[in-house]
Amino acid sequence: MAGQSCISVQRVFVQRSVFQSFLWKVVEHAAKLVIGDPSNEATEVGPLIRLGEAERVEAWVKEAVESGAKLVAGGERKGSVITRPS
């Protein structure tokens, strides 16, 4: 079922010893998600509710990278959709 949740994970705490393994498993899983039209049953991730919300997420990603975060996958915006790992 495609749709949005009013709540979301803001932080994930991972032990340093398993961080790299965890990170790449998340990237691998995200790469398999079906992005598309929310009215299509196959869609797992659809667009954000409004263009402004997608722009806000895009700004957060940019701010994080400018502050030293490392972008490992996705992070670009196409309309109201934030891209998945490429």
- pLDDT of 38: 87
Q: What average pLDDT is seen over the chain?
A: 87
Cα–Cα distance, 52 to 20 (Å, whole number): 33
Cα–Cα distance, 7 to 60 (Å, whole number): 17
> Above 50 in pLDDT, residue 1?
no
Mean pLDDT of 53-58: 93
